[in-house]
């Protein structure tokens, strides 16, 4: 029995990867420096895995931005607007697709299955002529072997997952695209085979979703072709994130190994193996260690699962793996020395998970007695956390016990609230606002560091934050925005900030994970019972409101986003933890209202990403997610206007649930989809306030007023102008000051033009 890995975090222990990318983008380093820095990180990652005793080490999982974008570049699939003329995709073009350029909008970015990682959506235009521009897995294999003597297992995104995650083609064209890509995949595999590669990992997480018979037929055709075209190489067909519904079909595919998730499968994969068996001619990649969570494994429980698998699969055909790539967890828990002892002892990041994999494989070879001491240590660590005072909060327990009696609906319907709010606020048609944050400059980040290190007193830091708020209130007033925000200068991350102020949360020193591109986040750790000790946002919001006669929105992150963007305790259901967070946020909403803040935004950008991969499980998740939001927001007066914000991600699937949130105004990211979201509202009526983002904040490009005008005009063809708001598509934290001001000026200019046309139509 051997141990294997599926992928390792790209970012480096101290986010060296992020810093290298951003230095290159800023013109502070050249291409040669970027290549050298990333190669050093890449090789260090491989050495770590080797030194931890991992037998099968993946190569080719590393990226310069995103692994789906890498696949597109490998096959020369570049949108026409970037002027690509064939051949290997150079770095400027690669990054232009990801981030946009002066003349061309970036490709759409959306969530990777039900994770918080974002990938660049491939655009399969009619004129695209895919080709194998460069064999990236082969390059990675050669590098690992030459530099470190590692016989790695190349990783490639499977053709069906790639195509199902792509856009730009009609459903009837899917088979044609399979025909265009299959020869290229076969060529890549043959080149690997010629190099002497024994195994290749082909990632097909799409197999863990709900697929039709037509889908399965296409998958069979793909793998019959690939194993025929490259018969000398062994394919490990890797699934993850859930169980595979069509287990019998998947294990019958003509490949040499099947990777299954035995962590997030709800026990279904294990039951299928036990009931239906496993082919005697295949290797089982047993995903036993959680690739997405940060808790030390219950090694006894994992050994029991492994023992059950050994009843159906011989030990020499089992490869002990994580449930998915370790991309989704931080690098190492070694330096988390400031955490409470009971919490620190229960953590396992990527490096610690590698050690757990090696231990389980050792037990599989030598017997469980060989790891008896480690089993006892793991038991002690988990028990110590469970006995922690943070998990025995009687106030939270009492509140949760009376949850059924807590109000989860506003006292009046939207139309009645709208009349009261319109009378109070007297906003112009098509009111303008922003999503919440303004640029976090080096000065802002530097001030926060001085305060955290004790170099500044709390009074000095508060004075600095107030100066930033005052400056940006003035800027918003001068630009002509109608509803203002305080700018969130005191906040690091939109979840981390709240977690730092809520009981039951903890924060790591180096617990960074990649969200998209170079954007790394440090998710809070929800390890105890959640409650609000004191108000979190009232002081800054009230100060901002004191500086202007225009309304200033209170800005909160919603319970589902806090849940989905945190590492969550594994001793309670996610639903129960969501309700704890919701009740704590309700206390903050009520505190803001009591302080005179009459517009409160409770953002839920991660609502959809929490959807189970199985459609038959969606209704249950959406029911409790909507209830959690409404628990947070339903006790305010009719005149208090509740806003929310979501990021673009196939909203047609959940439009009814979005409406059920019963927010007075929702803003939705739409610019990266090039207005496609507007089509949803041609099919579905939305009867509450809505703002479709009119420009992309993920790109440094400043769009013209004319571009925004076109977006506004498209939206007003299908949405009620009386309910329409105008805003950027997301927060402006990552943007520069000059581009932010210029873009907002263009947005107001476009709004004024639209108001003129709207007024003419109403006359």
**Cα–Cα distance, 690 to 663 (Å, whole number):** 10
Residues 370-404 pLDDT 10s? 999 999 999 999 999 999 999 999 999 999 999 99
Question: Does 674 appear as a known binding residue?
Answer: no
272 and 332, same structural domain? yes
- The reported pLDDT for the residue numbered 763 is 39
Q: Which of 369, 389, 409 corresponds to the end of one domain?
A: 389
Structural domain that includes position 49: 2-66+114-120+132-389
Q: Is the pLDDT of residue 584 over 80?
A: yes
Task: Tell me whether residue 698 is one of the annotated catalytic residues.
Answer: yes
Question: Does 645 appear as a known binding residue?
Answer: yes
Question: Does 269 appear as a known binding residue?
Answer: no
312 part of a folded domain: yes
Mean pLDDT of 56-68: 98
16 and 158, same structural domain? yes
86 part of a folded domain: no
Q: Say if CB 154 and CB 71 are below 8 A apart.
A: no
HSE (side-chain half, CA atoms, 13 Å) at 307:
10
Structure-token match 């190492």, residue found = 332
Question: Does 553 appear as a known binding residue?
Answer: no
Specify the range with the lowest mean pLDDT, choosing from 310-314, 561-565, 571-575, 650-654. 650-654
496 part of a folded domain: yes
423 and 385, same structural domain? no
Phi, psi angle pair for 699, to nearest 5°: -120, 145
Question: Does 111 appear as a known binding residue?
Answer: yes
Q: Is the pLDDT of residue 661 over 90?
A: yes
Average of per-residue pLDDT values in the chain: 94
Residue 59: which pLDDT band, with cuts at 50, 70 and 90? very high
412 part of a folded domain: no
Q: Which of 389, 411, 441 corresponds to the end of one domain?
A: 389
Q: How many residues does the chain have?
A: 763
Question: Does 609 appear as a known binding residue?
Answer: yes
430 and 383, same structural domain? no
566 and 526, same structural domain? yes
> What is the number of structural domains in the chain?
2
88 part of a folded domain: no
445 and 309, same structural domain? no
94 part of a folded domain: no
341 and 438, same structural domain? no
Q: Is the pLDDT of residue 672 over 80?
A: no
494 part of a folded domain: yes
485 and 355, same structural domain? no
Question: Does 620 appear as a known binding residue?
Answer: no
CA torsion sign, 620 to 624 to 629 to 635? positive
Q: Which of 333, 367, 389 corresponds to the end of one domain?
A: 389
Q: Is the pLDDT of residue 28 over 80?
A: yes
Residue 701: which pLDDT band, with cuts at 50, 70 and 90? confident
Q: Say if CB 85 and CB 144 are below 8 A apart.
A: no
Whole-number percent of the chain with pLDDT over 70: 97
445 and 353, same structural domain? no
Mean pLDDT of 618-629: 97
285 and 187, same structural domain? yes
User: Which residue of the set 67, 328, 643, 698 is catalytic?
Assistant: 698
Residues 707-738 pLDDT 10s? 899 889 888 888 899 999 999 988 889 888 99
Question: Does 647 appear as a known binding residue?
Answer: yes
312 and 452, same structural domain? no
699 part of a folded domain: yes
Q: Is the pLDDT of residue 116 over 90?
A: no
457 and 345, same structural domain? no
Q: Is the pLDDT of residue 234 over 90?
A: yes
Question: Does 435 appear as a known binding residue?
Answer: yes
Q: What is the DSSP string of 29-69?
A: S-HHHHHHHHHHHHHHHHHHHHHTT-SB-EES---SS-HHH
- Kindly report the CATH number assigned to the domain that includes residue 8: 3.20.20.210
> Which residues on neighbouring strands pair with residue 521, listed in sequence order?
513
Residues 252-284 pLDDT 10s? 999 999 999 999 999 999 999 999 999 999 999
């Amino acid at each position: 029995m051997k141990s294997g890995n599926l992928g390792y975090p790209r970012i480096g222990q101290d986010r060296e990867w992020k810093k290298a990318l951003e230095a290159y983008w800023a013109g502070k380093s050249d291409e040669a420096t970027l290549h050298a820095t990333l190669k050093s990180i890449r090789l260090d990652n491989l050495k770590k895995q080797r030194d931890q005793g991992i037998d099968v080490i993946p190569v080719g999982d590393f990226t310069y931005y995103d692994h789906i974008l890498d696949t597109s570049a490998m096959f020369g699939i570049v949108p026409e607007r970037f002027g690509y003329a064939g051949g290997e995709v150079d770095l400027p073009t690669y990054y232009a697709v990801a981030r946009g350029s002066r003349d061309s909008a970036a490709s759409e970015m959306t969530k990777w299955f039900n994770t918080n990682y974002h990938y660049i959506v491939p655009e399969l235009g009619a004129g695209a002529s895919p080709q194998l521009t460069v064999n990236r897995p082969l390059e990675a294999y050669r590098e690992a072997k030459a530099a470190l003597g590692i016989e790695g297992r190349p990783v490639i995104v499977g053709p069906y997952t790639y195509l199902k995650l792509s856009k730009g083609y009609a459903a009837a064209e899917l088979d044609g695209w399979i025909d265009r890509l299959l020869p290229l995949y076969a060529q890549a595999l043959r080149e690997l085979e010629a190099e002497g590669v024994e195994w290749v990992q082909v990632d097909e997480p799409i197999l863990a979703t709900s697929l039709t018979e037509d889908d399965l037929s296409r998958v069979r055709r793909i793998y019959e072709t690939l194993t025929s075209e490259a018969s000398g190489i062994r394919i490990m067909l890797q699934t993850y994130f859930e169980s595979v519904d069509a287990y019998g079909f998947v294990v019958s595919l003509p490949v040499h190994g099947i990777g299954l998730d035995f962590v997030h499968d709800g026990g279904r994969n294990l039951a299928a193996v036990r009931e239906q068996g496993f082919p005697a001619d295949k290797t089982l990649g047993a995903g036993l260690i959680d690739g997405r969570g940060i808790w030390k494994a219950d090694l006894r429980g994992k050994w029991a699962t492994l023992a059950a698998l050994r009843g159906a699969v011989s030990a020499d055909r089992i490869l002990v793996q994580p449930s998915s790539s370790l991309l989704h967890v931080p690098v190492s828990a070694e330096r988390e020395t400031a955490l409470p002892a009971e919490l620190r002892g229960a953590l396992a990041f990527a490096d610690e998970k590698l050690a757990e994999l090696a231990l389980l494989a050792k037990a599989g070879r030598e017997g469980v007695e060989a790891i008896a001491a480690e089993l006892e240590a793991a038991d002690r660590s988990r028990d110590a956390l469970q006995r922690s005072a943070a998990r025995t909060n009687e106030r939270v327990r009492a509140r949760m016990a009376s949850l059924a009696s807590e109000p989860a609906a506003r006292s009046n319907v939207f139309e009645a609230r709208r009349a009261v709010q319109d009378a109070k606020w007297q906003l112009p048609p098509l009111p303008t606002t922003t999503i919440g944050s303004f640029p976090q400059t080096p000065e802002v980040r530097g001030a926060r560091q001085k305060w955290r290190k004790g170099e500044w007193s709390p009074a000095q830091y508060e004075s600095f934050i107030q100066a930033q708020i005052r400056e940006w209130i003035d800027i918003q007033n001068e630009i002509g925005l109608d509803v203002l925000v305080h700018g969130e200068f005191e906040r690091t991350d939109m979840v981390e900030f709240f977690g730092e102020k809520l009981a039951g949360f903890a924060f790591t020193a180096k617990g960074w994970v990649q969200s998209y591109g170079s954007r790394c986040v440090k998710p809070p750790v929800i390890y105890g019972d959640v409650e609000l000790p004191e108000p979190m946002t009232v002081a800054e919001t009230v100060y901002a409101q004191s500086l202007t006669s225009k309304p200033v929105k209170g800005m909160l992150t919603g319970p589902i986003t806090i849940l989905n963007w945190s590492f969550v305790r594994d001793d309670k259901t996610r639903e129960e933890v969501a309700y704890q967070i919701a009740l704590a946020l309700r206390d903050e909403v009520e505190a803001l209202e009591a302080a005179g803040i009459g517009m409160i935004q409770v953002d839920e950008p991660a609502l959809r990403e929490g959807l189970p991969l199985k459609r038959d499980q969606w209704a249950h998740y959406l029911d409790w997610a909507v209830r959690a939001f409404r628990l947070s927001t339903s006790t305010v007066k009719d005149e208090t206007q509740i806003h929310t914000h979501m990021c673009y991600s196939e909203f047609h699937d959940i439009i009814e649930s979005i409406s059920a949130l019963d927010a007075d105004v929702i803003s939705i990211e739409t610019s990266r989809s090039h207005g496609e979201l507007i089509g949803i509202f041609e099919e579905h009526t939305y009867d509450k306030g809505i703002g479709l983002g009119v420009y992309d904040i993920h790109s440094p490009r400043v769009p013209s007023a004319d571009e925004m005008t076109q977006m506004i005009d498209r939206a007003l063809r299908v949405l009620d102008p009386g309910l329409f708001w105008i805003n950027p598509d997301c927060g402006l934290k990552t943007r520069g000051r000059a581009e932010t001001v210029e873009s907002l000026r263009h947005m107001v200019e476009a709004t004024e033009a639209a108001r003129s046309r709207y007024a003419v139509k109403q006359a």
